[in-house]
Structures are given as C-alpha cells and as structure tokens.
Structure 1
C-alpha cells in the first residue's frame, strides 16, 4: 500500500469528544467514555514499562489497512523510530501488539471485524478489554481468517501475554467495570 496519508485527517476537528475510524468504507464516530480512558491509561502504563528498547506505544493514531478500513487502535505498539516521526498515520505492518477497549458502539468492530484485519496483517497479539463484561479477550497466533488462539479471562488476576516483545503482564484487578457487567461467581 503506497498511500500512508490518513483519510481521517479531514475529520480531525469535526467530532470533538468522539473517536473516528473508517470501517467498511464508512466514517464511524463514537463517544469516548471515562472507562475507555481509564482502561487505556492503565494498560498503557503496564505495557510501556515492560517494552524492550526500540518499541513505543501509540494511541488513536490512524493505521490505513485499505481504502475502506482505517483503524485508530486504543493502544498499538510500533517501533520507537517510527513513533519518533510523530505522524498522523502509519502502515499497519508496523504494529507488533494491539489493544482495544470495548464501548457499546464498538462491540462488533472490536470482537468481529478488527480481529480479522489485525490477524491478516500478522499482528501477533490482540487484546480486547471489555468493561461492559468485566473481562479481557486475548488473541494470538494470527492467520488469514483471524486468530487461532483465544482466551477470555475475567478481570481480577494479572494477564500474562507471551509476545514477540517478551512476556507482558497486565494487571486487571483495578480496570473499570460497568456497574451492570456480570460478576464472576
């Protein structure tokens, strides 16, 4: 893909307080909630402190997959050299780890669409952090049709992700959980 210019740049100021992405050829805007930011902040801090030298997390930066899909992951880990360029978009092939926080508006995208696109690009690890259900879904072993490995873990214990970046530990006990989320027995 030769085009690295983000189509989303033209919408940059059009939707304050909303995240925007291009999904299946449509510009999708959805509100940002406090649980989203709290979860991103907690996971970012945990992951960033464990990354090997030469890698950096980014958030809400555009990754154009094709003309109809331009995602802005909640957390993506890319080479630090690329992050230092401070661009508005990057090729998705740079992503080495990705995490999304589920909101009511993003359920289908986070659980169904993005795993296929992320896996098809060979992104080794994908986390879906879900404050609506109080769990994290960890996906690994990417293939052309999606991730072959998948576990669902209730918030509480530390999540250990074995990745090409090394063993990453993500504490989940203090991640925000929606008041109506089911509680483990």
Structure 2
C-alpha cells in the first residue's frame, strides 16, 4: 500500500469513528474492526492509566486510542501505550509502532483472539518490551515479556487481587489489581 493509500485508509477510519461514537476502530489482519466500548473496559483503562502515570519516568508518557501502524494490514489503537513524552507532545493521531515501550490491552468479548493471539506477535516483533493483557472476563492479568520475532518468550497469568509488579525497562511498575473491574458473568463462570 502506498503512503497515499495509508492516508486514505486513516481518513476512512476517522470517518467510521465519527459515525460510531463509543466504538474503537482498528485494522487487524487487513480487516477494519469496530468494537463497542463497555464501562468495565473504560474503567480498567482509567485505573491502570492513573497507576502508571504516577510511576513513569518524566521522559515517558501514556497514550490511548491513537493509531500505531505495523504494516499495511495491521494498525492497532492500544488501550494504553507508553511512548517517549517528546513524541506524545506532538499530539498526533498516529505514531510509529517502534516508539512503544510498554503496551496494555483490555479484553472485551469481541477482542479475545486479537488481544491474546494476534497482537502479541506484532507487539513482540517490534521489540515492545512488555505487553499486559487485562482481562475483566477472566479476572486476571497476563504479562508478556522477552520479545522475539515470533512472539513473547515469557508469559505469566496473575489473578486479580494482589499487586502486580512489572520489572520493565522503564523501572518497576506496580499495578493494584484488586480494584480492577470484573465482568459479573465472569464471576458466575469462574
């Protein structure tokens, strides 16, 4: 796809987002994906954002819902991405994926496969040091680290409850998981 083709696609995605407020739009494996945002999704993002923001070194900043093109068929809008503060200050709608140091996605019923299977391959292939999957459906966090060209070499599943410390290149980051929302249907199934 040419640069003008990518610009056209960005324009189309922007129009879709305007037409469907309350939905997140991404390009995943060549398909345009539109997902509804649920209250637990947003609440999880807000709580994790607040925790991370106070712990990040000044040279780093958080962004959410902005585009990170990986190739012509994959452009993700992470729920939370940590990028250099200097880049964030440019206030753009899209950034190079190589800027991301840590990324977090919140699972929704529609995003399970993408968050657990598709995105880890892409995030790891770009050398993103840490990937967190916050899952209100299963009441746990999956941490992935040690990126390689075909995925992450390290992976832990931590139930919501205790504090989680991520030993990242940004320093030790602690997330309080006991206050993260859990889908009521997940409690019935667990």
Q: C-alpha root-mean-square deviation of aligned residues, in Å?
A: 1.8
Q: Tell me the equivalent position of 1:59.
A: 64
2:45 to 40, 44, 50: 40
Deviation string 1:125-168 (CA, Å, 9 cap, x unpaired) is 00000000000000000001100000000000001001000000
The question of 1:91 aligning with 2:96 is answered: yes
3-state DSSP of counterpart to 2:133: strand
CA distance in 1, matches of 2:108, 2:47: 16
Q: Tell me the equivalent position of 2:165.
A: 160
Q: Tell me the equivalent position of 2:29.
A: 24
Unaligned ranges ≥5, structure 1? none
For these two proteins, the number of residue pairs brought into alignment is 184
Unaligned ranges ≥5, structure 2? none
Deviation string 1:66-89 (CA, Å, 9 cap, x unpaired) is 110000000000000000000000
Q: TM-score, normalised by structure 2?
A: 0.92
Summarize the alignment of residues 1-185 of structure 1 with structure 2, pairs less than 5 Å apart: 3=3, 5=7, 7=10, 8-182=13-187
CA distance in 1, matches of 2:39, 2:17: 21
CA distance in 2, matches of 1:116, 1:14: 30
Structure 1 residue 180: Cα displacement: 2.1
- Structure showing the higher helix proportion among its residues: 2
Deviation string 1:21-45 (CA, Å, 9 cap, x unpaired) is 0001111001000000100000001
Structure 1 residue 9: Cα displacement: 3.0
CA distance in 1, matches of 2:27, 2:168: 28
